[in-house]
Structures are given as C-alpha cells and as structure tokens.
Amino acid sequence: MLRILFLCHGNICRSPMAEFVMKKLVADAGLEDVQVESAALHTDEIGNDIHRGTRAKLTEMGIPFSRRAAWLLTADKAREYDLLVGCDAYNKADLLRLVFPEDRRKVHLLLEFAGKSRDIADPWYTGNFDATYDDVLEGCTALLSAIRRGEVG
C-alpha cells in the first residue's frame, strides 16, 4: 500500500483539491493499493470543510469529493505516510522542520513530479482556482505516472 498525504497551509484549498484529483486519477487507473489524504501545516482552518472555490472547481471538472474537516499534521502522523507532498516552498520548509529526520526523504513538492520547480499558487490569495486546478492536475498526473513506473513509494 502506497500512502500519499498532500499538504498546504490550511487544508481547505490546494491540498484537498490535490487529494480528490489524485483519488480520481488513481481510481480511473484501477490502482487499489494507493491511499490518498490531505492535511494542514497550520491551525488557521482546522475543522473547516473545503473552500467553496475548490468545491466549485472540482464540481465543474467532474471530480467527486466529500465533506471533510481540515486537520493538522504531526510528526508522529507523518510517519504513517510514504509521500508527504506540499504545494509550495513554504509547505516544504514547514514539513522539513516538522517531520522526524528519517522522514525527510518523503517530502516533495507536487510540481517536482512534473519536472518543475515552481509553487502552486494559493487561490486563497489569488482567487484563481482555475490556475491552481491546472497545476494540481499536472502534478497529480505526473505523480501517477511516477507511481506506475515504480519511481516512488
């Protein structure tokens, strides 16, 4: 079983978008041994559901999702995952500070899988859920390809 955790600042915009996009890609690919979740790196939105902009974009794109509550990652909980995937450089820095040293090898940025070094912009600030979705889809599609090639996990 490959366990992937997507992370962003508050776990209401980018990381749940990545979670549900990846779940659909994994299901469409028929991969039953991949588990996908998302979490927050800060407490701002703990307990809150997905942002309305993320819900609207997922609905528009036909990506199924469910109600959920943002939750905060801990170092102990991070141990349960094989990949810890942040959306921007701040997320990656937060993760590297948070996790135990032996878990740092699990930390990645989502667009790294697509061969890019840039961040996924936070639509909480930009208001541009279309651009965020495009980046999330590109990163998740590349991550799925890496999984199929046996390069991660």
19-39 burial: b if 16+ Cβ within 10 Å, else e: bbbbbbbbeeeeeeebebbbb
**Alpha-carbon torsion (86, 89, 95, 100), positive or negative:** positive
SS3 37: strand
Catalytic residue positions?
8, 14, 122
How is residue 72 annotated by DSSP? B
